[in-house]
Amino acid sequence: MNNFIDWDSLIVPSKDIQVTKMRVFDSDILVLDNVLTEESFSNLSEVSKTLSISQYNEPPLDRGFIDARFNGVQQLKPIVNIVLNCVRQYWSAELATDPDFTWAINYFKSLDTSLPFIGGAPHVDGVEGVAALMYLNKHKVEGTAMYKSATGVSRVRHPRQGMSNRYSHDYRFTAKNFEDNFSAREVISGEPNRMIIYNRDVYHAASHTENEHTTEYRRTLVSFYSALFSYSEAE
């Protein structure tokens, strides 16, 4: 069934997108609200419930939750254009899509509420370029947390730093993990029909407790872009 979804026709951008430029630690973040029309967002949210998903973390771990994704959406040009235009306008930079560019829909569900955590383990998505994440649930979720390490670092500058999960044994990130390894945490709320755009080298993670996503998956649409050119650096 997935092969017959006309993704680009499904996606209709809103004419009233609201963009907020935030400064979190030492990084700018763009927060876009009303990204799609109400009908388009509702349809996309419903479609995301029907896709074939699979667990993707290796190796398999004995965990009290499901961490899965659906890969392979290589279109969504209307949203790609939103990301490229916003970064051009608000960050004075040009982005490029990678040769193997694809969107992924990530899924999370808690299976064991006796396991305490405050979300996923902080990580980075790369050392250069931009990530875009859109919340697909029709109700508000806790969102995405940005982190500053105990040594004051919130962005990773070297490819060998921060690429692996050093802060918890698996997905679960507890309050104790935070206290031992980080000095600050700021959460961007996961509002329906909201997208956040951030640098891929920023420490971040899903923010939620073990009780938040027990009956319905946390669903987010994610894509990554390469940095192509910055006008500000050229001046």
Judged by phi (left if over 0) then psi (alpha if -120 to 50, else beta), residue 164 lies in beta
Question: Which residues face 182 on adjacent strands?
Answer: 149
Of all residues in the chain, what percent are helix, strand and coil, respectively (each to 5)?
A: 20, 40, 40
Average pLDDT over residues 156-179: 69
Nearest Cα neighbor of 108 from 218, 221, 220, 222 is 218
pTM of this structure:
0.91
Check: CB of residue 206 under 8 Å from CB of residue 144: yes
Domain ranges of the chain: 16-228
Check: CB of residue 87 under 8 Å from CB of residue 59: no
CA angle 174, 182, 126 (to 5 degrees): 95
Strands 65-73 and 204-206: unpaired
Nearest Cα neighbor of 141 from 84, 217, 65, 60 is 217
Nearest Cα neighbor of 118 from 85, 145, 136 is 145
Checking if the pLDDT of 18 tops 50, the result is: yes
- pLDDT tens track for 111-144: 999 989 999 988 888 878 999 999 999 999 999 9
Q: How many residues does the chain have?
A: 235
Strand order in the sheet with 204-206: 182-190, 141-149, 204-206
Checking if the pLDDT of 162 tops 90, the result is: no
Question: Which residues face 36 on adjacent strands?
Answer: 13
- pLDDT tens track for 171-222: 889 999 999 889 999 999 999 999 999 999 999 999 999 999 999 999 999 9
CATH superfamily, with its number, for domain 16-228? q2cbj1_9rhob like domain (2.60.120.620)
